[in-house]
Each structure stands twice: as C-alpha cells, then as structure tokens.
Amino acid sequence: MPDISKLFIYRMTHLQNISHILQYGITHATSPERNNSYISIGDSSLIGRRHNIRLPFGKKLGSYIPFYFGPRMPMLYVIQNGYSGVTVIPASDIVYCISTVEAIERHGLGYIFSDGHALDALTSFYDRSAIHRFNELVDMQAVKSKYWNDENDLDLKRRKEAEFLVAENIPPEAIIGFVVFNAEVKRQLGNLPGITNKQVSVKPGYYFSI
C-alpha cells in the first residue's frame, strides 16, 4: 500500500481565489459557502461536459472537486498559452493548492480516483477501497513525465492526467500548503489572513516557460 501521507494531490486555481479558500476551503459551486467571486481557469467546454457524465459510482463527474497527482499538466500549458479559446492566465496568477490523500481521509471526505483523464473513454475509476492498489493502478511515471507527446506511447497524455476526485467541500485544514511561481506571489500570499500555518513554496519548475 502506498504511504498516503506522501501521496500528494494538486489543484490549480486563480490567485484571487486563495483568500476565500483560506477561510472556507475548496468548495463546490453549489455549496452555501461557495465563492461568489470565484475566478475560473481552464476550458469551460470541458468543465461543462463533466456535468453530463455519470460515473460507475452513481454521481456525475462534475459533482466532484478534481485534483491531479502531479504538477505541470497539459491543461496548465493550455491555460498559460490560451489555446482552444481558453483565457490566458499568466503563471504568476496560478496557484497550486496542495493536499494529501491522508489529509482527505483524515477529514472523512469521500473520494474516488482515475487512472487517466476523466473524460477519456479508456479511463477507469476506482473508489477508496482500491487506494491500497494505487501503485499498480496509476502510472506515476507518466504523471511525472515532463512531456506527453510520444509517438511510441500514444496513451501517455491520458495516463499523465489521472485524477483524484473529492465528493465534499475540502476544509482549509486539509490544505497543507501552496505552490507559487515566484517570490512576489509568495509575499502576496503571506499577507493574507489564515496563511500562517500553511507552507508556501516557490517552484517555477511547476509552470511552463512562455
């Protein structure tokens, strides 16, 4: 079984959402504690499709809060470049919220996970009872790969984008820290109420050079 205290999960969000997250956590759009000023990043068409897909466990994909198992995902590349009609967001405005599978379990939150991009027909989903098989189900070498275009492995991109999906709101206490692009963003976060016990790391390698 993997050490779930070291099984990190990553969610990208806009810098301007962090203040609300520090107070209320990461919330569903339908939650009473939702952020009414939430700034969305990503492909809105893909986000819309997620609400129409029912998973094997009964709930719709869009009803979960998604995380990745690593940084520097293809969607980040799209966001930073503005491909497919996506609004360009500079790296300095994108923050990673970091948690662990252990923290999610400790707070009693329901979750499932996938072995690839959740919208791909080849992807399989697993409930929490399968977490002990994580190392055989999720290809972490693919997740950690720096690039995803490989003519000898056309499935690499799908596996890289394996997801961890949380059913409930994620309280601030379950967020162990943040990763930002540069020291200036770290300084900005350091001035926010509630940041005291959170680790903020500067890791430009988690982003793409544009």
Sign of CA dihedral 184, 186, 191, 193: positive
**Residue 210 above 70 pLDDT?**
no
User: Does a structural domain hold residue 105?
Assistant: yes
Percent of the chain with pLDDT over 90: 90
44 has pLDDT over 90: no
Q: What is the mean pLDDT of the chain?
A: 95
| 137 is a domain residue | yes
Q: What is the percentage of the chain residues whose pLDDT exceeds 70?
A: 100
42 has pLDDT over 70: yes
Q: Does some domain include residue 142?
A: yes
Span 161-189, average pLDDT = 97
Reported confidence tier of residue 48, pLDDT bands at 50, 70, 90: confident
Give the total number of structural domains in the chain. 1
Q: What is the pTM of this model?
A: 0.96
SS3 84: helix
Answer yes or no: is 48 within a domain.
yes
Q: What is the pLDDT of residues 94-123, one digit of tens each?
A: 999 999 999 999 999 999 999 999 999 999
- Residue 66 Cα distances to 143, 159, 162, angstroms: 15, 15, 10
Domain membership of residue 107 (yes or no) is yes
Strand order in the sheet with 125-127: 125-127, 111-114, 163-166, 65-68, 8-14, 94-100, 177-180, 199-202
The predicted model gives 70-93 an average pLDDT of: 95
Report DSSP state, residue 168.
Answer: S
pLDDT of 143: 98
Report yes or no on 2 lying in a domain.
no
In a 3-state reduction of DSSP, which class is residue 96? strand
Q: For residue 1, is it within any domain?
A: no
Q: Which domain holds residue 40?
A: 8-206
